[in-house]
Amino acid sequence: MTNKIFRAGLQLSLAAVSLSILFILLSLYSYLNKGQEDSLGEEMKLIETGLALNGISYLESLEKGEIRITLVSEEGKILFDSKGNKETMENHLHREEIESAFIKGIGKSQRMSKTLLEKNTYLAKKQKDGRVLRLSVTTISMGGLVLSLLTEIAAVLLLSLLLAIFLSLRLAKNIVKPINQLDLDSPNKNDIYEEISPLLSRIEKQRKAINRQLKELRNKNDEFLQVIDCMKEGLILLDKEMKILSFNAEAKKFFDVGNEWIGKDFLNIYRNLDFIETLEQAALRGKAKYFAEKAERKYQFNISKIESQNEFLGLVIVIFDISERLMAEQSRREFSANVSHELRTPLQSIMGSAELLENGLVRKEDEADFIGKIRSEADRLLTLIEDIIKLSHLDEGKGFEMEAVRPAEAIKEVLGLLSQKAQNAEVKLFFEEWDSVAEISGVKQMVTDIIYNLCENGIKYNKKGGEVRISLFEEEKMVRISIKDTGIGIPLEHRDRVFERFYCVDKSRSKRNGGTGLGLAIVKHAVSFLEGKIELISEVDMGTEVIISLPKV
């Protein structure tokens, strides 16, 4: 812009100076011309009078000056010429001014010299005797004038050029300076040129629109980052050069890096040839999977290609922690193996006893024992199958309807079911909060199963004369049920494992008591289904307390 203004200023100044010079030259030229013409007229009057009085001798007596005097006869012959040789001069009848003087009485004309630097001005007048008196003067032509003033003109032009450069530069700078200092953050506050106000208003409008769009984009980006940060899976976005565009909190945790890695090469974080190959495959085929292990946990990477209009834009990597899934698969496999083993044992025992009886190999007096054994093993088998069915229902987690359940009612029901068992084991059952109306959100049968299994364990693993105390506490959001016995307790090393399926601290005691090793597994599952918590406090030979907290309605 500075350049443009500078050039325009310079052109304008030079044009103005050139025009002025031209005008001055023209004025000067016309002034000179007019002076000459006037003086020719004056001279004509004087010489005419002298010629009329004294004839050609008057003309001859005149001193040779600037004015050339010529006298031409009616035939065009030169009778007198103050500067030329009249004998050698050609006939002048057809000279423009002379011809005109013969016709109109007076004639004027101008002719350029050969060099064009000079100009002859002629004034001819017809005399009373018919002859024509012609005066002429040589004056400078326009070209000659320009040539004679060339140095001055050049000097003026040069000076004007320098002045124009200096002034144009200053002008351009002065115009541009406030524009350069515009505060574009608040365009409307600038008060410089009225002419650029519409432009500034437009900039202000666009600035507001851009700010609004930027804010929206930032909000969307923040939303996106917050959403991906809430994901429990790791997420990484890579551009086509494998540079990190974004990654979420889980991914950062996985690779143990921070935001400073955004924009950097992902392959520098995770240098692994197999992985790099998998990325290349994903870029080629669209999808690929990769498995990794870290801190004893197993991870699956799902890599997908991002494309737009057939153009490869980058990759998205989602990292899943599959340890739980693999463990669940493993425990399901183990459970199936355990189930078949646990079912086979009582069945084999039943079949063995039945075979002996069938073949008459049992003495008469032992028959009742064998039949009793068959019955107790069948009982155990039934309990086992019932527990397995309960567990598989809980595994599926379907078909249960949540309702308001009063734990006090469930406890009373369990006490009724277990009173005979407690009597046989010489264990006393206590429950004091008979009137509690606290309600939890759950499934009645599930709550009853939880309390039944815990109370039954309290009886089974107790000592003669021992007791099982059931307490109910109502809190702001939860109901706590404590089942505390005075039994044999659970050794520390077993405490974490007793909730596993088929886990028994003492297999033979458990079997003697009709245990299946599934009771606490059912309790754990049911409590987690009801979104509650379990606490186990135990001391060997002193007793065990299990506290269940379940959310209130």
- Ramachandran class of 180: left when φ > 0, alpha when ψ lies in -120 to 50, beta otherwise: alpha
Q: In terms of Cα–Cα distance, which of 400, 474, 406 is closest to 441?
A: 406
Min dist. Cβ of residue 517 to ligand ADP (A): 4
The tokens 């935001």 sit on which residue? 259
Token reading at 82: 């103050």
Which one-letter DSSP state was computed for residue 518? -
* Cβ atoms of 80 and 103 closer than 8 Å: no
By CB under 6 A, what part of segment 415-454 binds ligand ADP? 453
Min dist. Cβ of residue 452 to ligand ADP (A): 11
CB atoms within 10 A of CB 442: 27
Q: Which of 448, 516, 526, 532 touches ligand ADP by CB under 6 A?
A: 516
Q: Which of 144, 234, 442, 458 touches ligand ADP by CB under 6 A?
A: 458
Token reading at 537: 């406090």
Token reading at 479: 């109901």
Rank residues 248 and 457 by Cβ distance to ligand ADP and give the closer one.
457
Min dist. Cβ of residue 473 to ligand ADP (A): 20
Residue 102 lies near ligand ADP (rule: CB under 6 A): no
Burial class for 451, CB neighbours closer than 10 Å (0-12, 13-18, 19+)? buried
Site map for ligand ADP, 525-544, x if CB under 6 A?
Answer: -------------------x
Rank residues 37 and 506 by Cβ distance to ligand ADP and give the closer one.
506
Rank residues 514 and 551 by Cβ distance to ligand ADP and give the closer one.
514
Min dist. Cβ of residue 358 to ligand ADP (A): 31
Span from 108-116, 127-135, 353-361, 511-519 in contact with ligand ADP (CB under 6 A): 511-519
Alpha-carbon distance values, 499 to 325, 373, 453, 518, 522 (Å): 19, 29, 12, 8, 8
Site map for ligand ADP, 143-162, x if CB under 6 A?
Answer: --------------------
Q: Which of 515, 525, 532, 550 touches ligand ADP by CB under 6 A?
A: 515
The number of residues that bind ligand ADP (CB under 6 A) is: 23
* Cβ atoms of 386 and 424 closer than 8 Å: no
Question: CA–CA separation, 414 vs 360, rounded Å?
Answer: 43
Rank residues 33 and 376 by Cβ distance to ligand ADP and give the closer one.
376
CB proximity list for 38: less than 8 A, separation 6 or greater? none
Min dist. Cβ of residue 494 to ligand ADP (A): 7
Rank residues 144 and 487 by Cβ distance to ligand ADP and give the closer one.
487
**What is the β-pairing status of strands 428-431 and 467-474?**
parallel
Q: Which of 108, 506, 533, 547 touches ligand ADP by CB under 6 A?
A: 506
Question: CA–CA separation, 148 vs 142, rounded Å?
Answer: 10
Which one-letter DSSP state was computed for residue 90? P
CB atoms within 10 A of CB 232: 9
Q: Could you tell me which residues are beta bridge partners of residue 106?
A: 125
Site map for ligand ADP, 465-504, x if CB under 6 A?
Answer: --------------------x-xxxx-------x----xx
Rank residues 320 and 503 by Cβ distance to ligand ADP and give the closer one.
503
Rank residues 144 and 519 by Cβ distance to ligand ADP and give the closer one.
519
Q: Which of 144, 187, 407, 517 touches ligand ADP by CB under 6 A?
A: 517
Residue 505 lies near ligand ADP (rule: CB under 6 A): yes
CB proximity list for 194: less than 8 A, separation 6 or greater? none
Question: CA–CA separation, 236 vs 234, rounded Å?
Answer: 7
Residue 457 lies near ligand ADP (rule: CB under 6 A): yes
Residue 461 lies near ligand ADP (rule: CB under 6 A): yes
Three-state secondary structure call for residue 462: coil
* Cβ atoms of 248 and 231 closer than 8 Å: yes
Min dist. Cβ of residue 468 to ligand ADP (A): 9
* Cβ atoms of 119 and 138 closer than 8 Å: yes
Rank residues 70 and 453 by Cβ distance to ligand ADP and give the closer one.
453
* Site residues, ligand ADP (CB under 6 A): 453, 457-458, 461, 485, 487-490, 498, 503-506, 510, 515-521, 544
